[in-house]
Amino acid sequence: MINYLANPVRFLKFSKIATPIFGWLSLAAFIWGLYLALIKSPPAIEHGQAVRMMYVHVPAAWCAQMAYTALAIASLVSFIWRHPLADSAARSFALPGTAFTFLALVTGSLWGKPAWGTWWQWDGRMTSVLILLFIYLGYLAIWNIIPERKRAARLASILAMVGFINIPIIKFSVDWWNTLHQPASISSPGAPGFPPEILWPLAIMVLAYTFLFGWLSLRGIEADVVRSRIARANTKPAATAIIETL
């Protein structure tokens, strides 16, 4: 599959079909999910209506991490095989990833005010998301500051890969350093878990975010492929070489 898509022409063909599908699926999931989340589901006992923030917050936090993983994998491919499509992919994962990270921070702090009484706590989980934002910004900054595309791709991919090793280290150190945030109650096995009327809308919202991520990334890759096409379109060389042997 990946091998098949590695050709930009085939990729464009594929994305022509896939992109709208992702877009519409995401829209549908959002409508359904938000309906369940905002209207159907009950307010929580401790958090009251503010719990509805969870349906925006938790998927954003998850997608932020998923996007980074995708980014790191694309970077690995780009670094080893120097494939231009992988560069486009990595670059296109970064922007939505940054946006999700930012969204997780904003919704988290909007939730923090009713839940903890402050916008922000220097708690391990939140700090590590802040650091993830720094990593994303650094990654984007490299693309931004280096005009030569190939070089930018290579340097950015090095940073993304090393940054990926760094993520468990940060998580471990920061989690261990100061904890306040909700422990992972869904992701860890045997945890008490949420009742199904909360779990369902959450799951659908996660799907919606994931499709949104797919849609944004595909569009980003398409635009990037087209852009580098245009750059290559003008092919008449400025000079001809004349070689004379004396």
Which are the contacts of 85, defined by CB distance < 8 A and separation ≥ 6? 5, 6, 7, 8, 11, 221, 225
Indicate which of ligand HEM, other proteins, none lies near residue 165 (CB less than 5 to 8 Å, by partner kind): other proteins
Tokens encoding 28: 């549908």
CA 158, 163, 164, 166 torsion-angle sign: positive
Binding map of ligand HEM across residues 12-51, x = CB under 6 A, - = no contact: ----------------------------------------
Check residue 229 for interaction with other proteins (CB under 8 A). Answer: no
Q: Which among 69-77, 88-96, 137-145, 182-190 is the span making contact with ligand HEM, rule CB under 6 A?
A: 182-190
Q: Which among 2-10, 22-30, 139-147, 180-188 is the span making contact with ligand HEM, rule CB under 6 A?
A: 180-188
Give the nearest distance from C-beta 2 to other proteins in angstroms: 23
Using CB under 8 A, pick the residue from 31, 177, 199, 226 that binds other proteins.
177
Report the alpha-carbon distance of residue 22 to residue 216 in Å, rounded.
Answer: 9
Tokens encoding 47: 């958090």
Report the alpha-carbon distance of residue 231 to residue 70 in Å, rounded.
Answer: 27
The nearer residue to other proteins, 6 or 161, going by C-beta atoms, is 161
Report the alpha-carbon distance of residue 101 to residue 204 in Å, rounded.
Answer: 19
Binding map of ligand HEM across residues 101-140, x = CB under 6 A, - = no contact: ---xx--xx-xx--xx--------xx--x-----------
Query: What number of other Cβ atoms are within 10 A of residue 124's Cβ?
Result: 20
The nearer residue to other proteins, 72 or 204, going by C-beta atoms, is 72
Q: What is the H or E stretch that residue 38 is in?
A: none
Report the alpha-carbon distance of residue 156 to residue 69 in Å, rounded.
Answer: 14
* C-beta separation of 112 from 121 below 8 A: yes
* C-beta separation of 209 from 200 below 8 A: no
The nearer residue to other proteins, 45 or 236, going by C-beta atoms, is 236
Check residue 161 for interaction with other proteins (CB under 8 A). Answer: yes
Binding site for other proteins (CB under 8 A): 79, 109, 118-123, 127, 130-131, 134-135, 137-138, 141-142, 144-146, 150-151, 154-155, 158-159, 161-163, 165-166, 169-170, 172-174, 177-178, 231, 234-246
